[in-house]
Amino acid sequence: MFWLPLSVLAAVPLTLASPLAPRWDDFKVKHAWHDVPRNWKCEGPAPAGTTIDLRIALKPHRENALVDALYEVSSPQHAKYGAHLSKAEVAELVAPHPDTHALVNDWLSHHGVPSSSVSTSHNGGWLTVSSVPVSQADALLGASYQVYRHAETNDTLLRTVGYSLPAILHDHINTVAPSTYFGGPRAWRKTSHLTPNGKILPDGDAEIQAEIAALAKAKEASRLPGSLATVPSSCSSTITPSCLRALYNSSTYTPKATSQNVLGIAGYLEEYASHTDLKTFLTKFRSDATAAAFTVVTVNGGLDNQNSPGDEANLDIQYAESISFPTPNIYYSTGGSPPFVEDGNTPTNTNEPYLDWLQFILEQSTIPQTISTSYGDDEQTVPLDYAQSVCTLFAQLGTQGTSVLFSSGDSGVGDGSCLTNDGTNKKQFIPNFPASCPFVTAVGGTTRVNPEVAASLSSGGFSNYFPRPSYQDAQVTSFIKSIGTSFSGLYNTTGRGFPDISAQAENFQIVLSGRTESIDGTSCASPTAAAVISLLNDFRLSEGKPSLGFLNPLLYSTGTAGLNDITSGSNPGCGTTGFTAVAGWDPVTGLGTPDFGKLQAIVA
């Protein structure tokens, strides 16, 4: 059985409710920043009457149970492989200690919080305390909530640079949000950018399709081995759906389980996917799929503004649809920006995008079998307690049979000065979160064809928060040994390595407001890989088998044979050349890019 010794998941003896009255003033720091996070400036106290909604993650009674179950149902070698859990079964695994709710309720009651303002979610694993006056939040958490303004975006947040809990509650509470997480529109950066000088196809990819057909015919006649022989050289400078379907060997597969299988795209930061642009894109780049449409689901006040399409949202949905057609696609428009309205009358927007979306999706009766997300942040800017709590929510998705994929990022081994934010100002490679979470599949970037090589923008490295999981220990240890003392001290030799796999990430053709644009980023790679995984889930479901769920134990074992190993290219950053792609796993392209045909045979 696979086992992951995460600190957040390590067995911790719970403090039982004391027969004596607990000391609610015996504060112990839960999390605090050494300095105000970069680019944020304190504007002073919130206006009188401002309230805040607090979310409290409670520690489960059996803290290893969820991860144990995740690896049992995700490891091809285990007898329970594919026996995904129901929502109720997951609830049992994450249920708090029997004393936890009573103790936390006593604490809230001591501070005058009415029981009517407290609600539970995730089957009692999370509490939401609504409309808490800021002064009351300060008292509860030994905090000092203030208004902070971002120097570049001018956005404002209500946050505290540190918070504490009574000592007796540390064994019962994982995290409280919003508190010290200063993530905002620039921090939750899109890992993509428009490339106005990139090559743009004026008349669709008919020429590429014709070239693919000619190459396929030549391959058949000469019996050339391998699917890469059918990828036109023009795909090195211009990526279209035809390029990707040929490159990743999925062009001959037609989905059959379209009444069961769903592909989800998580969107944030007021990024809207345009139905009209999708129709134009498919007419130009996949004419047999023009009937494709997607459903929009709004989360936490998210909108669906069809007059303001976003390059990120359009990229995600256009490539997810064009590769997975006719699989149903859902675009989740998650609210959370602007984060704070200083009117003193309404609760602050919590602006915790992943929590907003995760709490929504985990409450649903049905969840897409594959989900792609193209957003991330520097790991060191995310409070550890918050990152750990969010990571375990991704684990819950995996146990229920959902494959979760994330872009690895666009900054190589790190962007800018790469100095730590713990007060030591030490130079260090900067990993990204949630890509560094061991319960998601992180997707790096490649470019060119015949052969593919690593894209220099592809983020990869080693987590400073999460230990290396056993499913990747052999491959990652081998890589670390192979580079010897290179970059010594710049990365965590025992951390979770990412990315896990990769896909094309440059020169993607998209349609934005009716115009064809060229776009780069691992935002291209994640929906591409997710669409291929969605086809595999379709195949499994059509054969009466369960969906794949959490992918990594499969990918690092039998699944490796279904990936195209990338052995050249690097990801420079932090003033260094970065890591280099090599045979086997590497922190640039992971295990390689998917070959649908080979993976289909493996998962059969």
Asked if residues 80 and 89 have their Cβ atoms less than 8 Å apart, the reply is: no
Q: Domain end: 152, 182, 212, which one? A: 182
Centroid of chain to Cα 205: 31
Q: Which domain, by its residues, includes 561? A: 193-253+263-338+350-603
Share of the chain above pLDDT 70, in %: 88
Same domain flag for 162 and 208: no
Q: Decide if pLDDT at 317 tops 70.
A: yes
Confidence of residue 13 (pLDDT cuts 50, 70, 90): very low
Same domain flag for 426 and 472: yes
pLDDT of residue 604: 96
Strand segments (E) across 109-172? 118-121, 126-133, 146-150, 156-159, 162-166
What's 31-60 look like in SS3? EECCCCCCCEEEEECCCCCCEEEEEEEECE
Overall average pLDDT of the 466-481 stretch: 98
How close are the terminal C-alpha atoms of the chain, in Å? Answer: 22
Question: Using CA atoms, how far apart are residues 502 and 524, in angstroms rounded to an integer?
Answer: 10
For residue 497, what is the domain's CATH number? Answer: 3.40.50.200
Structural domain contains residue 113: yes
Q: pLDDT (tens digit, 9 = 90+) per residue, 126-155?
A: 999 999 999 999 999 999 999 999 898 888
Structural domain contains residue 5: no
Across the chain, mean pLDDT equals: 90
Question: Using CA atoms, how far apart are residues 26 and 167, in angstroms rounded to an integer?
Answer: 6
Q: pLDDT (tens digit, 9 = 90+) per residue, 150-174?
A: 898 888 889 999 999 999 999 999 9
Q: Decide if pLDDT at 4 tops 50.
A: no
Question: How far from 436 is each of 59, 333, 407, 527, 551, CA to CA, in Å?
Answer: 21, 24, 10, 18, 15
Overall average pLDDT of the 49-53 stretch: 90
Same domain flag for 559 and 416: yes
476 token code pair:
């990652």
pLDDT of residue 226: 46
Catalytic residue IDs:
312, 316, 523
Rounded CA Rg of the chain: 24
Q: Is 544 exposed, middle or buried (0-12, 13-18, 19+ CB in 10 A)?
A: exposed
Q: Domain end: 162, 182, 202, which one? A: 182
pLDDT of residue 354: 82
Confidence of residue 340 (pLDDT cuts 50, 70, 90): low
Torsion of CA 417, 181, 522, 363, to 10 degrees: 170
Same domain flag for 178 and 220: no
* Residue 328 CB-half CA count within 13 A: 12
Overall average pLDDT of the 234-253 stretch: 96
Report how many domains make up the chain: 2
Asked if residues 309 and 331 have their Cβ atoms less than 8 Å apart, the reply is: no
How many other C-beta atoms can be found within 10 angstroms of the C-beta atom of residue 289? Answer: 18
Overall average pLDDT of the 567-586 stretch: 98
| More confident site: 220 or 577 | 577
Structural domain contains residue 235: yes
Same domain flag for 203 and 172: no
Work out whether the CA dihedral 425, 431, 434, 437 comes out positive or negative.
Answer: negative
Same domain flag for 211 and 135: no
pLDDT of residue 15: 44
Q: Of the candidates 329, 358, 366, which has an alpha carbon nearest to the alpha carbon of residue 530?
A: 329
Structural domain contains residue 3: no
Overall average pLDDT of the 317-345 stretch: 81
Q: Domain end: 133, 155, 182, which one? A: 182
What 8-state DSSP symbol labels residue 266?
E
pLDDT of residue 522: 94
Asked if residues 401 and 361 have their Cβ atoms less than 8 Å apart, the reply is: no
Same domain flag for 304 and 166: no
Same domain flag for 459 and 598: yes
Q: Decide if pLDDT at 242 tops 60.
A: yes
Same domain flag for 146 and 199: no
96-100, 211-215, 240-244: the lowest-pLDDT one: 211-215
Structural domain contains residue 21: no
Q: pLDDT (tens digit, 9 = 90+) per residue, 490-544?
A: 999 999 999 999 999 999 999 999 999 999 999 999 999 999 999 999 999 999 9
* DSSP per position, 382-446: S-HHHHHHHHHHHHHHHHTT-EEEEE--SSTT-STT-B-SSSS--B----EETTT-TTSEEEEEE
Same domain flag for 108 and 232: no
Same domain flag for 151 and 243: no
Question: Using CA atoms, how far apart are residues 255 and 226, in angstroms rounded to an integer?
Answer: 23
Same domain flag for 122 and 236: no
